Amino acid sequence: MSQSNGYMKALKCRECGREYPLAATHVCEFDFGPLEVAYDYDRIKKSLTRDVICTRPQTMWRYRELLPVAGEPTVGRQVGYTPLVKADRLAKRLGIRELWIKNDAVNFPTLSFKDRVVSVALSRSVELGFKTVACASTGNLANSVAANAAAAGLDSYVFIPSDLEIGKVVNSLVYGAHVIGIKGHYDEVNRLCAEIAGKYGWAFVNVNMRPYYAEGSKSMGYEIIEQLGWRIPEHTVVPMASGSLLTKVHKAYQEFIKVGLVGETKWKMHGAQATGCSPISTAQKAGLDFFKPVKPNTIAKSLAIGTPADGFYSLKVMKETGGAADDVTDDEVREGIRLLSECEGIFAETAGGVTVGVAKKLIASGKIAADSSAVLCITGNGLKTIEAMTGHVGATRDIRPSLREFEALLAQDKPELVTA
Amino acid sequence: MVRVSIPPTLRKLCGGEDTVTVRPGTVGDAIAQLHDRYNGIRDRLCDGGGRLRGSVLVFVNDEDIRFLGEQATPLKPGDEVSIIPAFAGG
């Protein structure tokens, strides 16, 4: 094998196993199966030890042998290693012994887990010689491509549904990206991008660069294991849009076992969706291994993918690990956001509300046992979807700068504090 | 006639064309016509039982045929068909 490809061996079709060169291509010519990066795990096992990892900076790149770049990463070198927060107050509210929040709401630089996949996709795009990068996005990915492309001096085109939250729109425009709003839902944006990818010689991070891009999500799983003290959690709850993150966190757990960083153990992967866009959870609950596409209608816009690319594979992972899926209504999404905020001081975007809401249901139903340990993957920041909570969290009470007015107000809250 | 957009993955098989035309009928008829013209195309798009692979999406005038009539979806003159790999996005 060539040293110049780092620890990557080839792109390999997940369906038929045919191999392809490590280029910007994402599907098999024979059966349209997805291509995945194949690694030289024997070599990785020799060079990637706990000691080596611990000497490296606290970023996602401390596991770089398991990420698909040939040389040193050039884009997003500070991404990752977000806090894993022990959530005792939320654990008590949900009725579980041990609960952790993997908090990618504070990922660098654009406050979502997408910085992980983008830093891999753009580092690899630079290696392959691309000057323009692009994506189809529900918002977070657009933000991350726009920001990381700007920092790397790359031109970027980001395609989003035109009705996205204003925070996500401004957070793409500010970096000077070309932002194209498509009058339609994400699946239509995605179809357009599939048709134009390749036509202009651009690196579409989640189309022709998808085999590399998707691997970036594994870093969330590696970090969870390391931050838990080199332990794989019994339960992991992951929000599902395309379903890719769930499959990649699972793959991260498998790989750490494969390269000897942790011992064999069992774990369950659980998937969370919004009821208004629940093709995967609906199939899982019905015991099916295929899903029926839907037209999304939910406030969890970052999860609003009606034709999830990895729906089939995420169903497979949940089945193999004995995990479950469920979905929550818009009101339950808001309740999930409030629970996480009020118990742990973490303001997540709507996808986080979905994850907390579904975790609550899975614990209540016993699918996640009360006497177990679970990690919830929080993937984005609440400040980006402020509209979802506006009008649902009360309002400020405005007074003049007068002690008398303040005491009148306080007397309503805590009469015992205010003397007549 | 009906215009069919060919994805890059299949262009080698279609003499490098990015668009071809077929006669009106159904989506299934269109796949059969493509197969007659470019031998092997049906096997790329369909499994052994003749069903479209899960890895392939077909759109008629921007709508996924799974929301229409699958392979029985009718094609009238002037309709546009797109064939798209499913493993993208997200």
The domain that holds A375 is classified in CATH as 3.40.50.1100
Please list every residue in chain A whose beta carbon sits closer than 8 Å to the beta carbon of residue B66.
Answer: 292-293
The mean of the pLDDT values for chain A is 96
A26: pLDDT strictly greater than 60:
yes
Helix (H, G, I), strand (E, B) or coil at A321: helix
Q: Which of B5, B54, B67 sits opposite A312 (nearest CB)?
A: B54
Q: What is the pLDDT of residues A318-353, one digit of tens each?
A: 999 999 999 999 999 999 999 999 999 999 999 999
CB contact, 8 Å: B51 with chain A?
A: no
- SS3 state of residue B75: strand
**pLDDT tens digit string along A51-104?**
999 999 999 999 999 999 999 999 999 999 999 999 999 999 999 999 999 999
Q: Is residue A276 part of a domain?
A: yes
* A75, part of any domain: no
- Dihedral sign, CA of B68, B73, B76, B77? positive
A236 and A202 Cβ atoms separated by less than 8 Å: no
Residue contact A136–B89, C-beta within 8 A: yes
Q: What is the pLDDT of residues A246-276, one digit of tens each?
A: 999 999 999 999 999 999 999 999 999 999 9
Of A176, A94, A195, the closest CA to residue A136 belongs to: A195
C-alpha distance from residue A364 to each of A98, A204, A286, A312, A326 (Å): 15, 41, 19, 27, 12
Which range marks the domain in which residue A97 is found?
A: 84-110+215-389
More confident residue, A1 or A16: A16
From the list A27, A293, A295, the residue facing B85 with the nearest CB is A27
Predicted confidence band of residue A2 (pLDDT cuts 50, 70, 90): very low
What's the rounded Cα separation, in Å, for the pair A147 and A384? 15
Does residue A278 register a pLDDT over 60?
yes
How far apart are the C-alpha atoms of A306 and A292, rounded to whole Å?
Answer: 9
Q: Does B30 reach chain A within 8 Å, measured CB to CB?
A: no
Write phi, then psi, for B44 (nearest 5 degrees): -75, -40
CA atoms within 13 A on the CB side of B25: 12
Do B88 and A15 count as a contact with CB atoms less than 8 A apart? no
pLDDT-derived band at A4 (thresholds 50, 70, 90) equals confident
Would you call the peptide bond into B8 cis, given omega within 30 degrees of 0 as the criterion? no
Whether B12 and A309 lie within 8 Å, measured CB to CB:
no
Shortest distance between the Cα of A41 and any Cα of chain B, in A, equals: 25
Q: Is residue A376 part of a domain?
A: yes
Determine the residue of chain B that is closest to A190 in CA distance.
B89
A310: number of Cβ within 10 Å: 26
Percent of chain B whose predicted confidence (pLDDT) is above 90:
84
Predicted local confidence at residue A420, as pLDDT: 62
Closest chain A residue to the Cα of B41, Cα to Cα: A30
B70 to chain A nearest CA, in Å?
Answer: 12
> What's the confidence (pLDDT) of residue A1?
40
Kindly report the pTM of this predicted structure: 0.96
With CA atoms as reference, the chain A residue closest to B46 would be A31
With beta carbons less than 8 A apart as the criterion, state whether A378 and A352 touch: yes
Question: Residue A308: its chain B contacts at CB < 8 A?
Answer: 90
B87 to A309: CB separation less than 8 angstroms, yes or no: yes
The residue among A11, A16, A27, A217 with the most chain B CBs within 10 A of its CB, best to mutate, is A27
User: Least CB-CB distance to A191: which of B8, B55, B84?
Assistant: B84
Residue whose entry in the numeric block shows the structure tokens 């402020």: A386
Whether CATH 3.10.20.30 fits B2-85: yes
Subunit contact B57:A191, Cβ cutoff 8 A:
yes
Nearest to A120 by CA among A196, A60, A202: A60
Least Cα separation, residue B59 to chain A (angstroms) = 9
Position A242 confidence tier, pLDDT thresholds 50, 70, 90: very high
Q: Is the ipTM of this complex over 0.85?
A: yes
A-chain CB neighbours of B56 within 8 Å are 32
Percentage of chain A surpassing pLDDT 90? 97
> Closest Cα partner for A63 from A216, A203, A268, A247?
A216
Residues of B in contact with A290 (CB under 8 A): 54
Residues in chain B closer than 8 A to A197 (CB atoms)? 88
Q: Which residues in chain B show pLDDT less than 50?
A: none
Residues 6 or more apart whose CB falls under 8 angstroms from that of A43 comprise A7
Contacts of residue B8, Cβ cutoff 8 Å, sequence gap at least 6: A198
B contacts of A241 (beta carbons < 8 Å): 90
Q: Where are the alpha helices (DSSP H) in A136-278?
A: 140-152, 166-173, 186-196, 210-215, 218-227, 244-258
Q: Say whether B90 and A309 touch across the interface (CB within 8 A).
A: yes
Residue A216 to residue A354: CA distance in whole angstroms: 22
**Nearest neighbour of A26 by CB, restricted to B45, B59, B88:** B88
Flag whether pLDDT at A283 surpasses 90. yes
What was the pLDDT predicted at A70? 98
Which of A33, A193, A210 is the closest to B55 by Cβ?
Answer: A33
Strands (DSSP E) contained in A194-346 are 203-204, 235-239, 268-274, 325-328
Which chain A residues are Cβ-neighbours of B54 within 8 angstroms? 290, 312
Q: Among all residues of chain A, which has the CA nearest to that of B45?
A: A31
Q: How far is CA A269 from CA A253, A265, A403, in A?
A: 11, 13, 54
Nearest Cα of chain B lies from the Cα of A280 at a distance, in angstroms, of 14
The number of distinct structural domains making up chain A is 1
Facing residue for A198 by CB, picked from B8, B54, B84: B8
B32 Cβ neighbours under 8 A, 6+ residues apart: B42
Contact A14, A36 (CB under 8 A): yes
Is the dihedral angle over the CA atoms A342, A343, A344, A350 positive or is it negative? Answer: negative
Closest by Cβ to A206, choosing from B53, B54, B89: B89
Question: B-chain residues within 8 Å CB-CB of A195?
Answer: 5, 7, 82, 84
Q: How confident is the model at residue A198 (pLDDT cuts 50, 70, 90)?
A: confident
- Burial degree of A369 (CB within 10 A; 0-12, 13-18, 19+): middle
Is B86 in contact with A242 (Cβ distance < 8 A)? no
Quick check: A42 pLDDT over 80? yes
B9 part of contact set with chain A, CB < 8 Å: yes
**Nearest alpha-carbon partner for A384 in A180, A83, A171:** A171
Residue closest to A288 by CA, chosen among A280, A296, A300, A278? A280
Dihedral, CA atoms, A96, A274, A215, A165, nearest 10 degrees? -120
Domain map (residue ranges) of chain B? 2-85
pLDDT tens digits, residue range A113-139?
Answer: 999 999 999 999 999 999 999 999 999
> Across the interface, do B85 and A194 touch by the CB < 8 Å criterion?
yes
